[in-house]
Amino acid sequence: MVKERKFLKGPRLRDVSTYEFPGLKKALSLGPDRIIQQISDARLLGRGGAGFPTGTKWDLALQQQGERKYMICNADEGEPGTFKDRYLLEERPLKVLEGLMIGAYAVGATQGYIYIRGEYSEPIKIVREILEDAREEGILGEDIFGSGFDFDIKLVRGAGAYVCGDETSLINSIEGKRGISRIKPPYPIQEGLYGHPTVVNNVESLACAAEIIKQGAGEFAALGTDNSRGTKLISLSGDINISEVFEIEFGSCTLSEIIENLGGGVRRGRDPKFVIPGGLSTAALLPEELDCTYTYEGIESAGSSLGSGAIIVVGESRDLVDILLKVSRFYMDETCGTCFPCREGNKQINYMLSQHRNKKFSGQEVELIEDIGEVIAAAARCGLGQTSLSLINSIFNKFPEELIEEVIHVD
């Protein structure tokens, strides 16, 4: 039986006047080097999708020289099927605030930003209120807890573009520019917001950092496996009986156990047709591939990736072409258009798919879709173009009988 592990989840935490900020107080006494050592020892990997080590990111940012540094919380959460950051913003926003402040103190940032998805009206209201309360209580501002640390946070509301979750597009958006991805290098930690060193971290990464400093790196590192430490918030949705945010200890269960035991099984009691394990940018897994352990390495060995932790279950009765069309429509609408192959390629693929409502694809057409996907990925400036065909290609590969005309071999 899979059990939820509570490292991040817990009782509602929104009242600034009664919260002690234990992680932040401890961090202020540790100093930047020892905070970063703790985060590195915990082996926390960024929870925004790319899995970059948070300790390394903070260390690189600390080394940067500059009169100003910025620390940004990425709460754009635009990946379809992902709603775990919303849980933290609504239920435990003080953990997120605390993590952002700890990160800022560790890297030497004096100004922070929380960039929230525009549609998240309730989290926006909650975060606005806690920022006002924190200023009133002297938790934000000058000389925080008598430590000499000055820091304040601005809340920025996104305008609904998926690409603005990409850290460089997000930085452009905060600067009031069009939300398009920047060429890297320079990376944000070298030249980010207004040209200054900038750290961008996911909501869950920051909440984890606050808990790691409070509880100690050992508590976190003792959970999970060698390559996947700690716990992970997952957003479980689709054709499933219970659609919710759960917290899983890495390595404690398989994907099929998550679906059966936490999700209450597939709706109407059948096997899933397939499962998307980490959001729309990850490859589909068939029912027989779901016995992989829920870790970065376990899902990779099954042929996909953990992504943002959005597990979407697709039931047997779903029409594959309909799904392909919806996925490609998403990428066609959400491309920022800067890279020509991403802009035009996703449009062409959507057009090709729309011609196949009741007819199978020829092998040549599938090859063409794969080729266009390769060109999009090779020329892509950001992760959107690099992964826009991952799910679509995997559906073609896994359902050839349903989607592709039979190939007749002539000897």
Ligand X SMILES: Cc1cc2nc3c(=O)[nH]c(=O)nc-3n(C[C@H](O)[C@H](O)[C@H](O)COP(=O)(O)O)c2cc1C
The span from the CA of 55 to the CA of 19, in Å, is 26
Q: Which of 109, 141, 142 is nearest to 35 (CA)?
A: 109
The span from the CA of 114 to the CA of 254, in Å, is 34
Give the helix/strand (H/E) hosting 399.
none
DSSP of 173-210: HHTTS---PPPSSSPTTTS-GGGS-EEEEEHHHHHHHH
Q: Which of 14, 236, 249, 223 is nearest to 132 (CA)?
A: 14
- Pick the binder of ligand SF4 from 324, 382, 392, 395 (CB under 6 A): 382
Structure tokens, 178: 């069009």
Helices (H), 266-308: 296-301
The span from the CA of 43 to the CA of 227, in Å, is 8
Q: Which of 54, 182, 181, 166 is nearest to 115 (CA)?
A: 166
Mark residues 181-200: x for contact with ligand X by CB under 6 A, - for none: -------------------x
The sign of the CA dihedral 101, 105, 106, 108 is positive
DSSP of 21-74: -HHHHHHHHH-HHHHHHHHHHHTPBPTTTT--BHHHHHHHHHH---S--EEEEE
Whether residue 95 contacts residue 13, with contact meaning beta carbons closer than 8 Å, is answered with yes
Q: Is the peptide bond before 185 cis (omega within 30 degrees of 0)?
A: yes
User: Segment 153-182, which members bind ligand X (CB under 6 A)?
Assistant: 162-163, 165-167
SS3 359: coil
Q: Residue 50 binds which one of ligand X, ligand SF4, none, with CB within 5 to 8 A depending on kind? A: ligand X
- Pick the binder of ligand SF4 from 157, 329, 343, 356 (CB under 6 A): 343
Q: Does 170 bind ligand SF4 (CB under 6 A)?
A: no
When the beta carbons of 107 and 377 are compared against ligand SF4, the nearer one is: 377
Minimum gap (Å) between residue 411 Cβ and ligand X: 47
User: Segment 319-338, which members bind ligand X (CB under 6 A)?
Assistant: none
- Pick the binder of ligand SF4 from 32, 118, 265, 337 (CB under 6 A): 337
Q: Which of 29, 38, 28 is nearest to 59 (CA)?
A: 38
Q: Residue 381 binds which one of ligand SF4, ligand X, none, with CB within 5 to 8 A depending on kind? A: ligand SF4
- Pick the binder of ligand SF4 from 335, 350, 390, 394 (CB under 6 A): 335
Minimum gap (Å) between residue 84 Cβ and ligand X: 10
Q: Residue 254 binds which one of ligand SF4, ligand X, none, with CB within 5 to 8 A depending on kind? A: none
Q: Does 365 bind ligand X (CB under 6 A)?
A: no
Q: Which stretch binds ligand SF4 (CB under 6 A): 26-34, 183-191, 338-346, 350-358?
A: 338-346
Whether residue 27 contacts residue 35, with contact meaning beta carbons closer than 8 Å, is answered with yes
Q: Which stretch binds ligand SF4 (CB under 6 A): 19-27, 55-63, 204-212, 377-385?
A: 377-385
The span from the CA of 318 to the CA of 316, in Å, is 6
When the beta carbons of 31 and 160 are compared against ligand SF4, the nearer one is: 160
When the beta carbons of 76 and 257 are compared against ligand X, the nearer one is: 76
Q: Which stretch binds ligand SF4 (CB under 6 A): 228-236, 237-245, 362-370, 376-384?
A: 376-384
SS3 88: helix
Minimum gap (Å) between residue 15 Cβ and ligand X: 26
Q: Does 181 bind ligand SF4 (CB under 6 A)?
A: yes
Minimum gap (Å) between residue 377 Cβ and ligand SF4: 9
Q: Does 49 bind ligand X (CB under 6 A)?
A: yes
Q: Residue 118 binds which one of ligand X, ligand SF4, none, with CB within 5 to 8 A depending on kind? A: none
Q: Does 205 bind ligand X (CB under 6 A)?
A: yes
Minimum gap (Å) between residue 327 Cβ and ligand X: 14
DSSP letter at 176? Answer: T
When the beta carbons of 85 and 91 are compared against ligand X, the nearer one is: 85
Residue 288 CB burial class (10 angstroms; 0-12, 13-18, ≥19): exposed
Q: Does 109 bind ligand X (CB under 6 A)?
A: no
Enumerate binding residues for ligand SF4 (CB under 6 A). 163, 180-181, 335-339, 342-343, 380-382, 384-385
Residues in contact with ligand X by the rule CB under 6 A = 46-50, 52, 54, 74, 76-79, 162-163, 165-167, 200-202, 205, 382-384
